[in-house]
Amino acid sequence: MEAKVFSIKGEEIKTVELKDSVFNCDISEGTIYYAINNELANMRVGTACTKGRSEVKGSGAKPWSQKGTGRARSGHKRSPVWVGGGIVFGPKPKDYGFKMPKNMKKLALKSILSLKNKNNNLKIVEDFTIESGKTSDITSILANLVKPERTVIVLKDDDNMIKRAGRNIPWVSFLSYNRLRAHDLFYGKNILLLESAAEKLNDFYGGKQEVV
């Protein structure tokens, strides 16, 4: 399939060939859901920790006799029913992350790219850089291409000057073509794909589509 390439002034200048297997494939909603959950789970910090009845401070002696006092029987002050006692079934440190098959991850990313392309939320832009690293320079470029809403810019390489220029814009994020994140792509209102990154994606994900 052919896609339009826009200049930094927002004008159509040429077309580029995109592989159907990457940008126009069958959309797998299940793998998209699984990929986003996988990323969120791997970022989760499972450090919550509570103390059980055997871990809290307190005497292990029986507070009063079992019978004859008129009060409920009690074994010790560390019981969960006492103030300051242990927590029953409380959280413990846990790793919530899990592994996802590589082929499934690739299918999810190709499905998201195809979905964005189908909904006209994906735009190919000529390669550019911000030599000055100033936010005002990249802001003027973005004004010609997208509305001020959640936007993901996909780069060929780690261009530190572009990232430096855009780091103060809260609705802009950057990804490299070989380190895409399903969560960012899916929830981005607009995806700006640099021309060189589009060519790299053709090669990187353009092999035979795996069946999951």
CATH code of the domain in which 40 resides: 3.40.1370.10
Q: Degrees (nearest 5) of the Cα angle 211, 203, 4?
A: 105
Q: Assess whether 86 and 127 both reside in one domain.
A: no
Kindly give the confidence (pLDDT) of every residue in the chain, 212 residues in length, as a single tens digit, with 9 standing for 90 and above: 899 999 999 999 999 999 999 999 999 999 999 999 999 999 999 999 999 999 999 888 999 999 999 999 999 999 999 999 999 999 999 999 999 999 999 999 999 999 999 999 999 999 999 999 999 999 999 999 999 999 999 998 888 999 999 999 999 999 999 999 999 999 999 999 999 999 999 998 886 544 44
For residue 122, report the phi and psi dihedrals to the nearest 5 degrees.
-115, 130
Q: Assess whether 61 and 114 both reside in one domain.
A: no
Q: Assess whether 121 and 199 both reside in one domain.
A: yes
Q: Which residue's structure tokens are 């859901």? A: 33
Contacts of 185 (CB under 8 A, 6+ apart): 109, 112, 113, 116, 152, 175, 191
Question: Residue 211: inside a domain, yes or no?
Answer: no
For residues 32 and 112, what is the distance between their CA atoms, to the nearest angstrom?
7
Q: Per the structure, how many domains does the chain have?
A: 2
For residue 23, report the phi and psi dihedrals to the nearest 5 degrees.
-110, 0
pTM of this structure: 0.84
4, 120, 26, 151 alpha-carbon torsion, rounded to 10°:
100
State which residues form the domain around 83.
Answer: 46-95
For residues 161 and 209, what is the distance between their CA atoms, to the nearest angstrom?
35
Q: Assess whether 53 and 149 both reside in one domain.
A: no
Question: Residue 212: inside a domain, yes or no?
Answer: no
Q: Assess whether 109 and 122 both reside in one domain.
A: yes
Q: Assess whether 34 and 115 both reside in one domain.
A: yes
Q: Assess whether 165 and 62 both reside in one domain.
A: no
Q: Assess whether 110 and 51 both reside in one domain.
A: no
